Structure formats: structure tokens, C-alpha cells
Amino acid sequence: MATDIKARLSNSSVSAQKARLVIDLVRGKPAVQALNTLRFLTSSAAAPVYKVLASAVANAEENFGVSRDDLVVYRITADEAPTRKWRRFGARGRFKPVLRRSSHITVVLRERAS
């Protein structure tokens, strides 16, 4: 049975929709290749996803003794977190709502089946 190695980032300031665009690029790839891909992306969502993935790789090496070359991104998700609601003043004394969306990013790594 394969061991799941997990890492989770709660309340990331990036919206789940933007994070999913980045996450789709690395799903199913080897962990080292996914880290290199995220390192050179210009999207602002790439930084928090990179940090969570790097944390999961470190968990695998330190806690489970698995080499980073044997790891694969088994499952990676970005779920919606609570939305902060702000107000801006508009014309004629009205309020214009501003929604600051956030997300929970979860990474699950598995050892490559050999």
C-alpha cells in the first residue's frame, strides 16, 4: 500500500480559481519537475502553490525517508476559503462591494510505483 504524504495551506490570499489554473499544470507530474515548473511561472498563484509543494516534499524526506526523485504529485486541489467582503463608495452615495477571495491548497504526494 502506498503512503500518502500531505501538506496543506489554509487561507491563502490567492483565489481558488487562479490557483487551479496553476495547479492543473503540475498535477500528475514528478515532484521535482513540478517544483521546477512552478519556480519559473510568472503567475502570482505560483508562489503559494510552490511553497506547499516544497513543504510536502520536505515532509516526505524528513518524516518518511522517501527520496524526492521518487515522488509524484498524486492529488492537488484548491478549495474556496472564506471571502472577505469590503466596500467602496460609489456614485450617488452607493456602496460598491469588493470580494477578497481566498483558498485552501492541499497537496498529496505518493511514491512512484516501480
User: What's 97's domain CATH number?
Assistant: 3.90.470.10
Total count of domains within the chain: 1
Domain extent for 39: 5-111
Contact status, residue 20 vs residue 104, Cβ threshold 8 Å: no
- The tens digit of pLDDT for each residue in 66-111 reads 999 999 999 999 999 999 999 999 899 899 999 999 999 999 999 9
* In the predicted structure, residue 114 carries a pLDDT above the cut 80: no
- Three-class SS of 30-84: EHHHHHHHHHCCCCCCHHHHHHHHHHHHHHHHHHCCCCHHHEEEEEEEEEECCCE
